[in-house]
Amino acid sequence: MRGPGAIAGTGRAQAAAWMGAACGDFSSALSLRAERKQVRATVATVRRFLWAAAIIEPSRLTIGSVQQYLSRLLAAGRSPKTLANHRSAISSFCDFLHDRGELPVNPCGSVRLRKPEERLPRYLSEDEAVEVLRLAAMCGIWPEVALALHTGLRLGELIRLQWADIDLTRRILAVRKSKSGRPRILPLSREALAALEAQQAVSGALSNVFPARQTWWSGWRFIDHPRASNWWRRALKPIQDAMPIFRQGMAATATGRGWHLFRHTFASRAAQRGVSLYKLAAWLGHSDVRTTAIYAHLQGGYDPDIERA
List, for residues 44-63, the tens digit of each pLDDT value. 999 999 989 888 888 889 99
DSSP bridge partners of 162: 208
Q: Can you tell me the distance from the alpha carbon of 136 to that of 225, in angstroms, rounded to the nearest whole number?
A: 23
Tell which residue, 4, 2, 56, 47, has the closest CA to residue 23. Answer: 47
Q: Are residues 139 and 286 in the same domain?
A: yes
| 87 shares its domain with 154 | no
Same domain, 201 and 56: no
Are 151 and 143 spatial neighbours (Cβ–Cβ below 8 Å)?
A: no
Q: Per-residue b/e over 44-59, b at no fewer than 16 CB within 10 Å?
A: ebbbbbbbbbbbbebe
* Same domain? 7 vs 89: yes
Furthest CA-CA distance within the chain:
76
**110, 144, 175 - which closes a domain:** 110
pLDDT for the residue 1: 46
pTM: 0.75
**Integer CA distances (angstroms), 210 to 56, 121, 155, 213, 216, in order:** 44, 28, 12, 10, 20
Q: What is the DSSP letter of 60?
A: G
> In this predicted structure, what is the pLDDT of residue 252?
62
Residues 62 and 184 in one domain: no
| Residue 264 structural domain | 126-299
Q: Is residue 120 domain-resident?
A: no
What pLDDT, in 10s, does the model give residues 135-180? Answer: 999 999 999 999 999 999 999 999 999 999 999 999 999 998 877 7
Do 82 and 181 have their domain in common?
no
Query: Quick one: how many helices (H) and strands (E) in the chain?
Result: 12, 5
Residue 45 shares a structural domain with residue 150:
no
Residue 86 shares a structural domain with residue 176: no
What are the φ/ψ torsions at residue 23 (nearest 5 degrees)? Answer: -70, -35
Q: Are residues 156 and 102 in the same domain?
A: no
CB 179 within 8 A of CB 159: no
Q: Is 209 within a domain?
A: yes
pLDDT for the residue 5: 47
Cα–Cα dist 157/182, whole Å: 12
**Which domain CATH number covers 145?**
1.10.443.10
DSSP symbol at 228: P
Cα–Cα dist 153/196, whole Å: 13
Number of compact structural domains in the chain? 2
Same domain for 133 and 255, yes or no, is: yes
Residues 17 and 62 in one domain: yes
Beta bridge partners of 112: none
Looking at the structure, tell me whether residues 172 and 33 fall in a common domain: no
Of 78, 110, 142, which residue sits at a domain end? 110
CATH code of the domain in which 19 resides = 1.10.150
Neighbours of 31 (CB within 10 A): 14
Question: How many Å apart are CA 260 and CA 267, to the nearest integer?
Answer: 11
**pLDDT tens series, the chain, 309 aa:** 445 445 555 556 766 788 888 899 999 999 988 888 889 999 999 999 998 988 888 888 999 999 999 999 888 878 788 889 999 999 999 999 999 999 999 999 888 887 766 677 889 999 999 999 999 999 999 999 999 999 999 999 999 999 999 999 999 999 988 777 788 999 999 999 999 999 999 999 999 999 998 888 878 888 999 999 999 999 999 999 999 888 877 666 666 778 999 999 999 999 998 899 999 999 999 988 888 888 887 776 666 766 775
